[in-house]
Amino acid sequence: MPIDILMPALSPTMEEGNLARWLVKEGDSVSSGDVLAEIETDKATMEVEAVDEGVIGKILVDAGTENVKVNAKIAVLLEEGEDASAIGSGSSDAAPQAAPTAAATEAAPSAPAPAPAAPQASAGPAPVSGGNRLFASPLARRLAKIEGLDLAKIAGTGPHGRIVKRDIEEAVKGGSAKAGAAAPAPAPAAAPAAAPQGMSDDAVLKLFAEGSYEIKPHDNMRKTIAKRLTESSQTIPSYFLSVDCELDGLMKLRAEVNGSAPMVGEKPAFKVSVNDFIIKALALGLKAVPEANASWTDGGMVVHKHADIGVAVAIEGGLITPIVQQAEMKTLSAISNEVKDLASRAKSRKLAPAEYQGGTTAVSNLGMFGVKEFTSIINPPHASIVSIGAGNQRAVVKNGELVAATVMTATFAFDHRVIDGAVGAQLAAAFKDYLENPMSMLV
């Protein structure tokens, strides 16, 4: 009998994802282990493999569909000897999904029913022109009204010939689909998105029609960031500690370490950054102050045996924190190469969930942007995070004399449920000591 292919849960916390791309089409034969599709989660793009062999009988969710619920039916696989008639009328509808956003509707419509001559749009009743239904996304309809365009004069380039946003934009450029120069465009009944605070819907529509701004729908990553950081700010009683760390000795040692790197072809085997020293110093600080290497749960305190350090990486549309596992046990060169690899794959959204979930604490470094100091929001389940500012020349007093030194400010945020003030201060002091005596990180 036909086998349902369901939207997989690619991580323990995943509730929905975007079906980015199908790598097979209806009628293709597949074997166990073949890659069927690419699924976008809030942090990464993952491949979905077949677990059975057979023929793709029907694809129920189009490529580009967003917010597909976990365990929703996305396709049907036919076993040997079966044909499309075995799917049955009840197999053509995907499991219930969250209502699509404007961007989701723009990307692809819901799956069409198997029998009708024209595909069934998901956006409700469509206008009729010459006896033929016109299929257009809700966003395309609203934009067409704003621009005074006749949908009947626009060729759709979306799935199944559907009119989508880009078609409206092309029609506006061409100027060939105007419903009538004398007739003003009718105002839609609702704004294309929620009005910014303090603005009426009419004001939003006016600005939108004039091209003064555009509404950019939230993607899954931005929704997850908003949810987790709101949860953090509302539920974690945080406090902050700052320490100034002199880096002159570290900078000198870094130059020596990089100068001693063996060559692999025409490139050195590694190039250690200041941030690599910071990761190592934090890991060794947690080893020296194990009480700070903990996380909060309602059932008890989780005390970690290793220092798994998250490294904040800015990617298009958001932020991800890949984890350097057991950083206290790794050399600076190993940390350096691992961070480069994780950051590169993070930016292309190719990290596995295990590479960015969990961890014990995190480093957020904005020093390269010239930021002197700042505070970060703790990312659960972590109970701490350290914010790194720029290292710059400052006047300091040494042996009663005013001299110049390279100084960096590090600001810790701690979850007071887990890490009391004295423990947090001990970790900050240990971190500072390792950075100011960097040779201790090489032994």
Secondary structure of residue 79 in the 3-state scheme: coil
First to last CA, the chain: 63
Token readout for 242 is 């700052």
CA distance 174 to 184: 18
Q: Element (H or E) spanning 52, and its range?
A: none
One-character DSSP codes across 226-261: HHHHHHHHHH--EEEEEEEEE-HHHHHHHHHHHHTP
- Whether the upstream peptide bond of residue 381 has omega within 30° of 0, thus cis, is yes
Count Cβ atoms below 10 Å from residue 132 Cβ, excluding itself: 10
Secondary structure of residue 431 in the 3-state scheme: helix
**Catalytic status, residue 416:** yes
One-character DSSP codes across 138-183: HHHHHHHHHHTB-GGG----SGGG-B-HHHHHHHHHHT--BS-SSS
Which residues form the catalytic set? 416
